[in-house]
Structure formats: C-alpha cells, structure tokens
Amino acid sequence: MLVTTNDMLRKAVEGHYAVAQFNINNLEWTKSILLACEEKKAPVILGVSMGAGKYMTGYKTVVAMVNAMVDSLGITVPVCLHLDHGDYDACLACIEAGFSSVMFDGSHLPIEENIAKTKELVALCHEKGISIEAEVGAIGGEEDGIIGRGECADPAQCKLIADLGVDLLAAGIGNIHGIYPANWEGLSFETLEAVKALTGDMPLVLHGGSGIPDEMVRKAITMGVAKVNVNTECQLSFAAATREYIEAGKDRQGKGYDPRKLLAPGAEAIKQTCREKIDLFGSAGKA
C-alpha cells in the first residue's frame, strides 16, 4: 500500500537523515528504484513530474503500475507516490487518481495566490489522507541561462506557507534543477538556517539534488533537510550505460537488440545511482 510522506519524514527529521525522492519515467525506472530501495531497506518517495505523468499515458496508469509492481516485487519498504511540481489542476488529478502525496508548486505565483491555492489543497489532501508539499522561492533550472546561484526563499514567506498546514516544504536555498553550471556559488546555508529557525520540525526538501557536492548535501541534512530530490543523476547514469552498450556494438551481437537486454545496463546503472544516494542521505536500514 502506498503511504504518505508523514511517517517517513518525521523519522528522518528525528534521526537526522534524509529520504530520497527518485523521479520515475517508465517501468524500468520504477523497477530499478524499488529494487534498490528494497535491497537497502530504505523508505522511498517516487516522484512523478507532470511531463512524466503525461509520458506514461496519465496518472491513473502510474498509480496502477506502481501499486502492482510493489505487490509483484514483494516490496516491503514504505513507498510514497508523489506528484513533483504540480500545478493546481495536476494536484486535483493526482488526488483523484490515487497518489499518496502531491507537491503544489505555486512558487511562480504572487504570494497571496500561492497561499490561497495552497490552503485549498491542504484541506482537500488532508480530507483524503494525502500529504502535501509546497514551495517557496522558485527553484530554477539550467534553461534560465547564466546562474550564479538559484533563488533563495524569503524565510518569512516560508513561515507563512508552513503555517497553512503543509506537510513538507521546499525552500529555494540556491539549488537549481538539472546540471549545475561551473560558476554556481553553492547552497545558501544562511537561508536554510533562517528557514529552519522559523519552521521548526517541518521537514524541508532539497530539490535539484543531482550535482550538489556530497559535503554540502550532508551539511544540509544535518540542518533540517529531510527529503532530497534526485532526477537528473539517474537520467545521466542510464544514458551513459546505454550509450556504452550501443557503442560497443552489443545490440548487434546475438539478440542484443532485445529491449530486455538493451535496457538492462541502464536499469542496472539507475540501481547503482540509487544505492549511492541512499548511502549519502543516510536512509539505508531506516525502512
């Protein structure tokens, strides 16, 4: 059965480690992540972006696949199925489809509108027993061009949103999505400290976890980050392993063109990335 983030993140805050959110894109991705987390006895949050949901033909397909796979693979660790960066309508669709958690990203909205919509969704989610993440301070990406540092959230605004009853909060602390540029200035620990001081036991989320130096991730976790999102890194390791297979001409040897063979090195690479992240975040054995 899919669970909310509540129990796993409360334990993470108390135990000073972080639960990994790994984003899924297809069956192979989901299978690799679930198997790696089961092997590590680590709780897991499966993130689904609106684009990935659409790619997998819709949120209902995702819910059915994940539920069935958890059962078929005999997964015993807690699994949360979480909408990543959803708009208002996507949140409604995922609540309806059977997700156990959603993220409402109203960070690009004026703060008043972010508050109003978040409030509405908090009530709806809690009525259905679903957890909800909100975001303050837009977390940009490489498409935004030259970035010295991502946006830093206003701690007072974080407090405002936290007080609406959200279960977890993403605050921009200089982090960005995708590959970090060479001139990136690193995380703003001053911002993180200020946000933590105002939001207390609220589990904080670090987005764009791919490419932040390990020591910065560790430090952020000791300062209250209880969930770290990983997406790009699995994509890169999958692509590298698949490229190696093709470039070695293995798809032209025997039945190497069989998708179950062709996608196997990439699937194994995702597992390895998951294992490394779980070790870094300290969530192994915490299921």
* Catalytic sites, residue numbers: 84
Which whole-number Å values give the CA distances from 245 to 26, 58, 257, 258, 272, in the listed order?
20, 31, 10, 12, 17
Distance in Å, CB of 21 to Zn ion, minimum: 9
Distance in Å, CB of 74 to Zn ion, minimum: 30
CA-wise closest residue to 97 among 63, 126, 132: 63
**Residue range at the interface with Zn ion (CB under 5 A); choices 157-165, 199-207, 256-264, 267-275:** 199-207
Q: Which is nearer to Zn ion, 53 or 265 (CB)?
A: 53
Q: Which is nearer to Zn ion, 170 or 241 (CB)?
A: 170
Distance in Å, CB of 238 to Zn ion, minimum: 19
Residues in binding contact with Zn ion, number by CB under 5 A: 1
d(CA 232, CA 54): 18
**Residue range at the interface with Zn ion (CB under 5 A); choices 37-45, 66-74, 202-210, 233-241:** 202-210
Assess 82 for contact with Zn ion (CB under 5 A).
no
**Residue range at the interface with Zn ion (CB under 5 A); choices 11-19, 54-62, 107-115, 203-211:** 203-211
170 three-class SS: strand
Distance in Å, CB of 177 to Zn ion, minimum: 6
Q: Which is nearer to Zn ion, 35 or 138 (CB)?
A: 138
Strand 101-104 and strand 131-136: the pairing is parallel
Which whole-number Å values give the CA distances from 26 to 45, 52, 55, 65, in the listed order?
15, 8, 8, 9
Distance in Å, CB of 84 to Zn ion, minimum: 6
What is the footprint of Zn ion within residues 136-165 (CB under 5 A)? none
d(CA 76, CA 73): 9
d(CA 118, CA 222): 28
Q: Taking every pair of C-alpha atoms in the chain, what is the biggest distance, in angstroms?
A: 62
Strand 204-206 and strand 225-230: the pairing is parallel
Assess 207 for contact with Zn ion (CB under 5 A).
yes
Q: Which is nearer to Zn ion, 91 or 241 (CB)?
A: 91
Q: Which is nearer to Zn ion, 157 or 210 (CB)?
A: 210
Q: Could you list the residues that contact Zn ion (CB under 5 A)? A: 207
